[in-house]
């Protein structure tokens, strides 16, 4: 499918329900559907505020959205440069392996390059061997010595009020 016409575009307000559906599909893929709390209203508050807290790219083939990437700016004190954090990258199963994920990552890399980002980062589930292989093929290093730390929900309030 070398002639596949993949269009990458920024999400618009009219895409809210579509994005929530993609988030739901990704949560199911990741085995975390029980943690899903995303709604169109909550997403609108973060995606379309000024300035936006997060941005979303949609990948379209033949006018139909088949994947998305959600990302935002972060910062590295070691590099003293901005960075780009990819929170989600998801392509629907029938469209995997034909260049959609690569097109999304290339678009993200162009954004990172144009904003002088020192790096792009994201997480990948250790059980997602196909995803790990895909990311490595794109030039990503999988860091073995770094673990994600997370405080969430009521634990945030408990810590804040200790």
Query: Would you list the DSSP string of 28-94?
Result: HHTT-GGG----HHHHHHHHSSSS-S-EEEEEEETTEEEEEEEEEEEEETTTTEEEEEEEEEEE-GG
∠ CA 87-144-133, nearest 5°, is 65
Nearest alpha-carbon partner for 9 in 65, 93, 92: 65
Active site residue 107: no
Helix (H/G/I), strand (E/B), else coil: 7:
strand
Residue tagged active-site, from 72, 75, 107, 135? 135
| Catalytic center residues | 135
């Amino acid at each position: 499918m070398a002639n596949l016409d993949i269009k990458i575009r920024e999400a618009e307000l009219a895409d809210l329900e579509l994005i929530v559906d993609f988030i739901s599909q990704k949560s199911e893929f990741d085995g975390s559907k029980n943690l899903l709390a995303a709604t169109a209203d909550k997403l609108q508050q973060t995606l379309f505020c000024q300035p936006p807290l997060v941005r979303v790219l949609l990948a379209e083939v033949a006018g139909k959205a088949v994947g998305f990437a959600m990302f935002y700016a972060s910062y590295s004190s070691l590099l003293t440069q901005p960075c780009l954090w990819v929170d989600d990258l998801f392509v629907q199963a029938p469209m995997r392996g034909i260049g959609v994920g690569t097109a999304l990552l290339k678009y993200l890399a162009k954004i990172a390059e144009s904003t002088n980002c020192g790096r792009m980062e994201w997480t990948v589930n250790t059980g997602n061997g196909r995803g790990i292989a895909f990311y490595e093929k794109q030039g990503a290093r999988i860091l073995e010595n770094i673990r994600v730390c997370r405080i969430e929900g009521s634990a945030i309030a408990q810590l804040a009020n200790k």
